Amino acid sequence: MNGVTGRMGTNQHLERSLLAIIAQGGVKLSANESIVPRLLLVGRNAEKVAALARKYGDLAWTTDLDAALKNPEYSIYFDAQTTDRRTESVKRAIAAGKHIYCEKPSADTLEGALELYRLAQKSGIKHGVVQDKLWLPGLMKLRALRDRGFFGRIFSVRGEFGYWVFDGETTQAQRPSWNYRKEDGGGIIMDMLCHWRYVLDDLFGSVKAVSCLGATHIPRRWDESGKPYDATADDAAYATFQLEGGVIAHFNSSWCVRVRRDDLLTIQVEGTKGSAIAGLRNCWTQSADQTPRPVWNPDVDDPHNYFSDWQPEGAGARFDNAFKSQWELFLRHVVAGEPFRWTLLEGAKGVQLAEKGLESWRKRTWIDVPPLAG
């Protein structure tokens, strides 16, 4: 596990996924067999990685990636480093014959992402990319509604994502400073359009074209040591997508927005027979026969409570951690050969859409997103 000293690597992948899998006795394959991961933490900072290993029960650790890759006891390489370090490390892991599982973006360019996919295919290893939002309870409820025909014909999707990330001057920032430096692989377009690609493709239809406007709303921030720096990467993106079947989707993504909505991510789906809006965990529906008949009158306060027209979907249902759910599927794929379609090619599709979004911003025009073959 390389790069898990960071916030996401520690919290979601190490603690809430693999250590949780170990604590539950592994991933059960049969009455007599389970997959129990053995962990080796890898990091560049010996002090940080050693402290993390101690915190979670004296796990094995090293700062020598090459030695770790040569160790035959570990068959899977996982990468949660900053994006600009990922490509070279994953290449070394493929050359060492390790199965690959990595965070997204899988690379900082489409060319690099496709190279990783082709190298992995040629080597015969198994590979996957984290696409965690597909296992969020709210999005799983949207999928269930779609599958049972609740929406009728879906024609639009609206997403709102983000929150206020403090600039670090007087209040410590909640995200690492590299996120706001383009030269270090930062930028919300590269980060979030990779997410929106697999969400849209999986739930609503393949992305065919994109129009995107980025912005750097907060041009000066303060890093982890309290030093000011210039924010060179985009911290907000306003993107519209044309999907297969005529669906129009629009996502606002921002680290410069004060939240007044149900959740940090909300996705509203409109269909001819009904609508739904989902957050990270909850989902509400409004069918055609529950839809109110509003009367527009801006001169008086509207007495109607529009929230009361929505019904909770799947209340009481239990869901596991989204990252853990995908980890379990990948472990089954490696050990038992079960299908796993979220490969490095799917990761490359996310990088492709991010690059097309950046191109759209630069050219101020719609950009087609052609099918991506390996």
Element (H, E) at 59: none
C-beta separation of 214 from 188 below 8 A: yes
Q: Is residue 66 located within the same domain as residue 183? A: no
In a domain, 372, yes or no: no
Give the model's pLDDT for residue 316. 83
Q: Environment class of residue 123 by beta-carbon count within 10 Å: exposed (0-12), middle (13-18) or buried (19+)?
A: middle
Q: Is residue 147 located within the same domain as residue 80? A: no
Q: Is residue 157 located within the same domain as residue 272? A: yes
Give the model's pLDDT for residue 60. 98
For each of the chain's 374 residues, which pLDDT tens digit applies?
999 998 899 999 999 999 999 999 999 999 999 999 999 999 999 999 999 999 999 999 999 999 999 999 999 999 999 888 999 999 999 999 999 999 999 999 999 999 999 999 999 999 999 999 999 999 999 999 999 999 999 999 999 999 999 999 999 999 999 999 999 989 999 999 999 999 999 999 999 999 999 999 999 999 999 999 999 999 999 999 999 999 999 999 999 999 999 999 999 999 999 999 999 999 999 999 999 999 999 999 999 999 999 999 988 889 999 999 999 999 999 999 999 999 999 999 999 999 999 999 999 999 999 999 86
Q: Is residue 149 located within the same domain as residue 296? A: yes
Buried-state track 165-191, b at ≥16 Cβ within 10 A, e below 16: bebbeeeebebbbbbbbeebbbbbbbb
- Alpha helix stretches (DSSP H) within the chain: 7-8, 19-23, 46-55, 65-70, 83-95, 110-123, 137-147, 188-203, 322-336, 344-363
Q: Is residue 128 located within the same domain as residue 140? A: no
C-beta separation of 10 from 19 below 8 A: no
Q: Is residue 182 located within the same domain as residue 311? A: yes
Please work out, in degrees rounded to the nearest 5, the angle formed at the alpha carbon of residue 39 by the alpha carbons of 35 and 44: 155
C-beta separation of 108 from 84 below 8 A: yes
Give the model's pLDDT for residue 373. 80
Q: Name the residue range of residue 159's domain.
A: 136-319+352-363
Q: Number of H helices and number of E strands within the chain?
A: 10, 18
Q: Is residue 206 located within the same domain as residue 151? A: yes
Query: What DSSP state is assigned to residue 288?
Result: G
Task: Count the domains in the chain.
Answer: 2
CATH code where residue 179 lies: 3.30.360.10
CATH code where residue 63 lies: 3.40.50.720
- Alpha helix stretches (DSSP H) within 6-45: 7-8, 19-23
